[in-house]
Structure 1
Amino acid sequence: MSGNNTFGRGSCPKPFLQKDLFPATGGYIDGRFCSDALGASCCLPCPQADWLYPDNFSSVTQSASWINVASILCMAFVLVSYTFLSVDKTHRHYMNTCIVISVVMISLGFLVPLATKPDQCYNTITPNDMYSSRTCGVSGTFILFGGLSAVTWICLRSIGLHLQICWQVVLGSSFMWGTLIVGWVIPASGLALALVFSGVSFRFGDTCHINHNNSLADFWIPLLVLAGITLIVQFVTISYCIKVYVLYLGARSTTRGVLGLPLYGNSIRGTLSPIEAYRRIRPVIYLQWRGFTVVLIIIAEVVFFSIIFVFLDNVETRLLHDPLQAEAWLICLIEYGRKEPCTPLGQELVVNEATVVAVLVLLSLNGIWCLLLLGHFSMFTGWYELAKGIREHASFEVFRDGAGTDNFENPGAYEMPANVRNGAKTPEPAFTQISSPTPVTSKTGRVTPDYFGRKARYNPPSHSTISPQTPSTIARNWNLNQASAIPKSKF
């Protein structure tokens, strides 16, 4: 102890602790913040983030994590609605479902530490990692896998929209099964590489994040590559839509009568005129503007999150290899023996508190964005109608069970069926149409429609003189009493 009253101080000045007095038996050894510039190898006490940020940093990060509770509730509502409500109420699509599941995993990564309240440190100078803390391993795995899968599904969704809008490709079951395989295999492979070659540990706050070692190659670069592909494809698609709209405005000003003509003679892969192309992509844009917005929001957050963490890793590495850059901060700590007077100097070395909190808040808001942009108001009406139907069915069952013998003796106690009039039974119609010239069909079951395109309904030209005729209105040129028809004239 070398005359010091605090265990572990050794020959190091306050508040540093001597590295040699803490054997490397567990925890994330490379996560120690140590330096040889003070003579002996001296380390800051764990957690190191407490020495670089103000006292309220831990409470602020926990408050940001509590936002994930609201996000989980929002995404649970969306997923339950996808499961139990019909397609016409939810407008569900398997890609949107996979995106919501991915965002759920990210939120779970922040909620698990809130429930377990883990210890960030293995010993006085060593942080815990996924091997020494089960909570750390679970939370870090959720965040890594959720982030990779969210970016992967966002990328696949952008590619699917691009193929349908720009190349008029019809996406079938082969594309669906292919994307389902790719959408989950890529994140699983990336997670395995990240955990094996980098691992996760407590970097700041109660949630574990990926370590600096090899993280650029096995996590950040693949994540940024997928985000870059998504941005390129998305902006190309948007540029194409803008181009089609501009050409449509020009074509409409020159040919007014083309808009009323049907789309004949052109295949889906054929050459489309500007007006026809606009008529094809307009319903797609109408259906997919929410998806466009979700893609841009999540990709912007991923890029921002990646830049901040890569910069944080570079700063940490630079300080460990060149402690002289933090000389003013280290001298301040030695002089005062506490962090409060030295916090402004420490903030100059790392990412400031406001930026870190902004990253955590943005990640926590993804679930709310999913509800606002992937959810629909019809989900609420669907649950209302479902609850109303269950209640009416229950009331009907109670009415049946509570019926006495008097009701059977008094037929007037029952409401007369609609198909009985004055004692005579009229034929019951097969279905009822309400203000609609065409039969109304309702989708039942868990059918996943194609929301990337919509078939245009054919409207006959208004100037057409062709009208259907019944057989009774067709003029006959023969006598029905004769065996064969006799023409009126030879010429």
Structure 2
Amino acid sequence: MAVNPNNRTACPTPFLSDSPFTDGGFLEGRVCITLSEELTCCLPCPMTDWAYPDSFHSMSTAANWVAVVSTVGCVFLLLSWAVLPVDKTFRHYLSICLTTAVVFMNLGFVIPLAAKPEQCFDDITPNSMKTSSVCAASGMFIILGGWAGVLWVFLRALSLHLQICWQLVVGRNFMWFAQAIGWGIPGAGVILAFLLSGVSFRFGSTCHINHKNSLADLWIPLLVFAGITIIIQFATFGYCIKVYLASLADNAASTEGSNLPSYTNSIRTMTPKQAYRRVRRVIALQWRGIAIVLIIIADVIFFSVVFVFQDNTVEKVKKDGTVALPWIFCLLENAGDKEKCLDKAGVLVVNMPTVGAVLFLLGMNGIWLCLFLGRWSMITGWRDLFISSPNRNKREFVSVDARLDDLKKDTRSYEMLSRDDSGKIVDHSVTPSVVTPISPTLARSDMGSPAMQQHHDYSNHHHHADGRRTPDFFGQTARYHTPVSSFSSPRPPTQQAQHHQPVTWDARETYARGTSPQPVGQDRYVNPLAMNRI
């Protein structure tokens, strides 16, 4: 942009006259002092180069890199929740939406780090959202992330409060309400902020909302929701303390041996100790969410207060130039050497340690999410996901073989009964092979033995005495293994069963009530398969 050198030097160093510059850029972002009706001197852009030491840029860049690490952590959480099973991640829509909000906020710092935008439209005028697309994008993500972060921690605190204090089970209705509030209000907030205030480069390489109407359309609503969240959170803590103190005085014998309310009582009629145990379990499950709520609310309140104070300080200097006269005279006396006047620049900006704390805390929100919402099972879940299937199947096959080898060592633990052609009971337990219904490979290999072939024929052609055919569900009958604590065992068929008489059992042996009286000492036959027939 063409500038008249004569007009540029009309103001004392380092100030520049505004007459050579056009009306482009964010005019309200200029820091100027009117010396006369014809002469207005402005501080060169950007203002932070004069109010802070040169290390400010290094600090700002480091904070942006922290935001990059934070974004990577949030993306890892989102991918884990999307890909891994629930038992590995314990995902919940409140956690997912809060993490997404933090990603949006971090993008407000990551985009300027990648794009390296020009902060100034000309020598005295900063860029705005109308003259820089990077400014518009970073400002939008900062406002959207701030709004969404505050609202989702508010909804998380409200959900916990309803569960603990009011014994309400938040369900699908609350989820849809949370989605409407958690994303609807931030979207409306971004639109109002852009229409009523706008964003520009005012505080480093990231665009922030302008002073005009910013209190009404951003800062006050944010602080109101943050305040409500704190009230709800401390009300929940107060209820927990009250329940704990009441449980100390509860000596009722009915609650000493019970951790849960009885089925005959309502949750609202729980004794103090039962209520305390319930609250303690909820807090044990939700303490990570409680910590996240407190951390993000503290960050947002800190950032809001600091930036509002910074905003009001700059506006005060614009309205009353005499406030900055000690700093201006220092620059004039030292020919524009800012290093000698930094101690007097406090009237223009917030001190650098406070600014650095704000930027780093905002950038670390994603790291806190990883620490509190992330779980070691996510790491193991990704490890299991990338393990090759052949290796996993091989280990399982070896394990099954090992178990079958152990079973083969004791062949007497199985009984295999069948009838020969003469009707006598044949015991095949002397067969060296162990056959089970879940061992098809072993079953096929043993079918060649005479004993197995005979048993196979019996399984396929055996009829009950009453003419019914026994279905062959497994292809072959497994040997019967008598349990250690069993009070019954398979018996051979008796004359009673062969003459079509009803089968009964002895209550003394089975601990059950018999259907008809039987003579003492008479043999009885119980078909194990017929006992479970539907």
Deviation string for 1:370-412 (max 9, x for gaps)? 000011111112222222354636989xx9xxxxxxxxxxxxx
Q: Could you tell me whether the CA contact under 8 Å between 1:68 and 1:111 is conserved in 2?
A: yes
Amino acid at match of 1:330: I
Q: Could you tell me whether the CA contact under 8 Å between 2:30 and 2:124 is conserved in 1?
A: yes
Greater displacement, 416-425 / 10-19: 416-425
Instruction: Calculate the aligned-residue CA RMSD, in Å.
Output: 2.8
| 1:131 counterpart = 2:130 | yes
Bigger RCO of structures 1 and 2 (CA < 8 A, at least 6 apart): 1
After TM superposition, list the pairs within 5 Å mapping 1:329-408 onto structure 2: 329-338=327-336, 339-388=338-387, 390=389, 392=391
CA distance in 2, matches of 1:74, 1:196: 33
Taking structure 1 as the reference length, the TM-score comes to: 0.80
CA distance in 2, matches of 1:141, 1:176: 26
Change (3 A) 1:295 1:63: same
Change (3 A) 1:38 1:418: farther
TM-superposed CA distance for 1:60, in Å, is 1.4
After TM superposition, list the pairs within 5 Å mapping 1:412-431 onto structure 2: 418=404, 423=433, 425-428=435-438
Q: Could you tell me whether the CA contact under 8 Å between 2:106 and 2:363 is conserved in 1?
A: yes
Q: Could you tell me whether the CA contact under 8 Å between 2:260 and 2:278 is conserved in 1?
A: no
Greater displacement, 127-136 / 35-44: 35-44
CA distance in 1, matches of 2:53, 2:403: 76
| 1:316 counterpart = 2:354 | no
Greater displacement, 35-44 / 211-220: 35-44
CA distance in 2, matches of 1:213, 1:351: 19
Displacement over 6 Å in runs of 4+:
253-256, 414-417
Q: Could you tell me whether the CA contact under 8 Å between 2:111 and 2:138 is conserved in 1?
A: yes
CA distance in 2, matches of 1:258, 1:417: 41
CA distance in 1, matches of 2:385, 2:285: 25
Deviation string for 1:266-315 (max 9, x for gaps)? 234x3322122122222211110010000000001111100000101110
- Count matched residues: 421
CA distance in 2, matches of 1:91, 1:296: 21
CA distance in 2, matches of 1:133, 1:38: 33
Taking structure 2 as the reference length, the TM-score comes to: 0.73
TM-superposed CA distance for 1:265, in Å, is 1.9
Amino acid at match of 2:273: I
| 1:165 counterpart = 2:203 | no
Q: Could you tell me whether the CA contact under 8 Å between 1:109 and 1:143 is conserved in 2?
A: yes
Amino acid at match of 2:511: T
Q: Secondary structure at the match of 1:383?
A: helix
Q: Could you tell me whether the CA contact under 8 Å between 1:159 and 1:233 is conserved in 2?
A: yes
CA distance in 2, matches of 1:53, 1:390: 58
Change (3 A) 1:228 1:416: closer
| 1:119 counterpart = 2:118 | yes
Greater displacement, 61-70 / 363-372: 61-70
Amino acid at match of 1:146: G
Change (3 A) 1:131 1:293: same
Gaps of 5+ in 2: 409-431, 440-506, 520-534
Amino acid at match of 1:384: R
- Structure 1 partner of 2:511: 473
Q: Residue 277 of structure 2: which of 265, 276, 279 is its match?
A: 279
Deviation string for 1:209-240 (max 9, x for gaps)? 11111100000011101101100000001111
Gaps of 5+ in 1: 400-413, 430-468, 482-491
- Structure 1 partner of 2:496: none
| 1:290 counterpart = 2:288 | yes
Amino acid at match of 2:289: G
Deviation string for 1:29-55 (max 9, x for gaps)? 100101114662111111011111112
Change (3 A) 1:112 1:180: same
Q: Secondary structure at the match of 1:137?
A: helix
